[in-house]
Structure 1
Amino acid sequence: MSAPLDDRTRAIISATVPALKAHGTAITTEMYKRLLSTPAIRDLFNLSHQQDGEQPKALALAVLCYAEHINDLGALGGMVERIAEKHVGLNILPEHYPYVAEALLGAIGHVLGDAATPEIAEAWGKAYWFLADILIGREKQIYEEHEDAPGGWAGWRAFRVRSRHNETSTIASFELAPVDGGALFRHKAGQYLSFKLDVPGHGSQRRNYSISSAPGADHYRISVRRQDDGVVSTWLHDTVKVGDQLQVANPAGDFFLDESSELPVVFLTAGVGLTPVISMLGALAQTSSSRKIRYVHGADTTALAAFRPEIEALVDRGVLTADFFYAKENAPVGRRGVAAHAGRVTAAWVTENLDRSATYYVCGPDSFMRDMVDALRAEKLAPEQIRYEFFGSASDPALVLSAA
């Protein structure tokens, strides 16, 4: 356990907050430029998030949050846990941390110039390694838990594509079974898999995809939306076939269903944000629980509402009720237990249909989640009743700090 940061160090870090607000993205952009010059480190990252600028923005936000809360680090518990889970999924190890330290401190000096005094460099060095030691310790725990669990493994494991199926014209599902034929780690419904992929013409790539199958199956299923100009999603859709092998890390992620609760649950999703929720619904459908479940999903059209037949089957079984919103076509006629709406899921609709006793699970584009989470918070729901997951590198402060 790292020794607590001394008062002087914390005061210096706090004093750098204005500079981070003004130059944070420039610092993290320079940091990644330095970090990614090392091939072994570059291969650990999703490079698409470098090209669109999302990763530097997200890291700049995380660094700023750290500095702003340096005197109240307990407020960062959720963010730290999320980073640790992400690192475990990508097989980040203790020996990788010195590279980041060198790149970050060098970037601070490069961007701030003479303003980056020796005192500031020393303080940020201490602050970095304080946080790094916390992450390394937590990641060690998670690695050991995974490796010791039935069906768990360390590092990368080869999986074979057992089947693939087009859910819609833009979302394809892939069932993955371990090549070694061994047992499969029981994931928590809502978690994701991390992949180390060798894409022809693009080299080594890292991606995370939510598991859309229920826990306890003899395979994992991922459901991937084709992204415009997406290197990996296009390759998966167009090239990967049954029998191909993919390198996969143990399931990870801190967004998952609380299976011990009997409280009502409402799922608010949009687009491909439904994938972790489909796993959660599968877990709920396996139980004899009498929990009240409502599934709310926004899609552009009925044809793009993935897994609708599965949802309707759960409605027919009395497991849940459902609301589908269609942004780009008139709503079709509803049916018993399934309501259809024209337009998008709005904060006003959520407020009008609020269940104050429910736990809300929210997943979709950042703007959608911000609207949903803001609406729920405005109604004074307890923080533990609002849980959400963002895909990619979220860069919204309100989402980053308190996702659960």
Structure 2
Amino acid sequence: MSAPLDDQTRSIILATVPALKAHGLAITTEMYKRLLETPAIRDLFNLSHQQDGEQPKALALAVLCYAEHINDLGALGGMVERIAEKHVGLNILPEHYPYVATALLGAIGHVLGDAATPEILDAWGKAYWFLADILIGREKQIYEGNESTTGGWTGWRAFRVRSRRRETSTITSFELVPVDGGTIFRHKAGQYLSFKLDVPEHGSQRRNYSISSAPGEDHYRISVRRQDGGIASTWLHDSVKEGDILQVANPAGDFFLNETDRNPLVFLTAGVGLTPVMSMLGELAQAHTDRSIRYVHGADTQALAAFVTQIEDFAKIDVLKADFFYSQESSPTKESVSGITTHAGRISPDWLRQTLDRSATYYICGPDSFMRDMVDTLRDEKLPATQIRYEFFGSAADPDLVLSAA
């Protein structure tokens, strides 16, 4: 573990905040350019997030948050945990960190030029390794915990596609079972799997997909939305068939049900953001919970809403009540199942205020703009932060959401 950062180092880091606000994206873009020149490092990243600029943007925000909170690093605990979980999913190891240090410090010097004095580079070198040692230590704990748990593993494990099912025209589910025939790690409902995919003509690709099946089953299910131009999602939809083998990392992620919380539950989802929530609902149904559950989902049309039949089945046995919003249907289909209500339009802040349950814990997952609307509304209504939980898909690029995610 690195020694605590001294006062002078922290003072220099804090003084670089204006430069990071002005040039942070340029620095992280240059850093990735340097980092990705090494094939062994390049293969660790989701390159689609490089092409759309999301990964450099997300890292720039993370670096800025780190600098701004250098005197109050406790505020970054949640962000550090999410990074550690992502790293474990991608099998990031201690030997990878020096490459990042070299690329980051080189990028700072390249972008800031003469303004990057030896003192600034020395301070950022110390700050980087201080944080790196925290991450390395936490990741070691997670790796060891996974390996020592029944069905757990480290590195990549071969899984066979046992079945695939088309949920909607844009979402396909894949059931995965281990090739070695062994047991599988009981994931926490809401976690994801990381994949090392060998996509023809595109080489090695890394992707994360939420587990949409309930914990404790003999398989993992992922439900993947086809993205326009998406290398991995298109390949999975068009080419991966039953019997094919995929390389999978142990389940990871810090977005899961709080087992000690007994509050009523409200799940707010949009688009493919429903996938981790389906795992949560499956676990709650298995446990025959007596907690009040409300499931709220937004989709363009009824035909594009996945798992409607499963939600209807849950409603029939009084596991939950549900609201479906269809933004491109002016006349929602009449409900055929008690406990399910359909609406025209989107899930709006006004509707959320009108239906607010101040005793409930809210779990939110969907596009960033949707999460921002929902989170801002709940905060404006003074709901405690402990009752607002949400998950990011892809590289989160909203600094406030990143820092305060529970």
TM-score (norm 2): 0.99
Q: What is residue 256 of structure 1 aligned with on the other side?
A: 256
Partner of 1:40: 40
Aligned to 1:401, the other structure's residue is in SS state: helix
Partner of 2:15: 15
Post-superposition Cα deviations, 1:339-393, rounded to whole Å, max 9, x if no partner, equal: 1110000111111100001000000000000000000111111111000001000
Equivalences for residues 275-290 of structure 1 within 5 A: 275-290=275-290
Partner of 2:391: 389
Which residue in 1 is equivalent to 2:402? Answer: 400
Does the aligned pair in 2 maintain the 1:262–1:289 contact within 8 Å?
A: no
Amino acid at match of 2:128: Y
What secondary structure sits across from 2:67 in the alignment? helix
Q: How does 1:199-238 map to 2 (within 5 A)?
A: 199-238=199-238
Matches within 5 A, 1:316-395: 316-330=316-330, 331-334=332-335, 335-395=337-397
Helix, strand or coil for the counterpart of 1:392? coil
Q: Which runs of 5+ in 1 are unaligned?
A: none
Paired position in structure 1 for 2:119? 119
Shift of 1:6: 0.3
Counterpart amino acid of residue 49 in structure 2: H
In structure 2, C-alpha distance between the alignment counterparts of 1:74 and 1:261, rounded to whole Å: 23
Counterpart of 1:187 in structure 2 is 187
* Counterpart AA for 1:226: R
Give the aligned residue type for 2:359.
S
Looking at structure 2, the residues matched to 248 and 339 of structure 1 have their Cα atoms a distance apart, in angstroms, of 38
TM-score (normalised: structure 1): 0.99
Q: Which amino acid aligns with 1:30?
A: E
2:362 maps to a residue whose letter is: Y
- Matches of 1:382 and 1:199, distance apart in 2: 44
Alignment partner of 1:93 is 2:98: no
Aligned length: 404
Q: CA deviation at 1:151?
A: 0.2
Q: 1:265–1:359: 8 Å Cα contact kept in structure 2?
A: yes
State whether residues 152 and 185 of structure 1, in contact with CA within 8 Å, keep that contact through their aligned partners in structure 2: yes
Which amino acid in structure 1 is aligned with residue 307 of structure 2?
F
Distance 2:224 2:29 in 1: 28
1:191 and 1:210 in contact (8 A); partners too: yes
Alpha-carbon distance in structure 2 between the residues aligned to 1:96 and 1:108:
19
Q: Deviations over 1:57-96 (max 9, x none)?
A: 0000000000000000000000000000000000000000
CA distance in 1, matches of 2:368, 2:178: 33
SS in 1 for 2:8: helix
Q: In 2, Cα distance between the equivalents of 1:183 and 1:224?
A: 24
Distance 2:62 2:399 in 1: 9
Q: After superposition, what is the alpha-carbon deviation per residue over 1:178-210, rounded to whole angstroms, capped at 9, x for unaligned?
A: 000001100000000000010000000000000
In the TM superposition, 1:240-319 aligns within 5 A as 240-319=240-319
Question: Which letter does structure 1 place at the counterpart of 2:287?
Answer: T
Distance in 2, matches of 1:320 and 1:158, equals 36
Once the two structures are TM-superposed, the CA of residue 2 in structure 1 deviates from its matched residue by 2.3
Partner of 1:24: 24
Q: Give matches, 1:159-174, under 5 Å.
A: 159-174=159-174
The gaps in structure 2 that reach 5 residues or longer are none
Matches within 5 A, 1:64-79: 64-79=64-79
Would the aligned equivalents of 1:28 and 1:107 in 2 still touch at CA under 8 Å? yes
**3-state SS, counterpart of residue 324 of structure 1:** strand
Distance, in Å, in 2 between the alignment partners of 1:262 and 1:388 is 18
Matching residue's letter, 1:336: S
Q: Provide the alpha-carbon RMSD of the alignment.
A: 0.6
Task: Letter of the 1:251 partner, please give it.
Answer: P
| SS of 2:21 mapped into structure 1 | helix
- Measure the CA separation in 1 of the matches of 2:72 and 2:243: 51
Distance 2:53 2:260 in 1: 39
Instruction: Supply the distance in 1 between the matched residues of 2:79 and 2:259 (Cα, whole angstroms).
Output: 22
Q: Distance in 2 between matches of 1:127 and 1:177?
A: 42
Q: Distance in 1 between matches of 2:196 and 2:223?
A: 17
Q: How far apart in 2 are the matches of 1:183 and 1:54?
A: 36
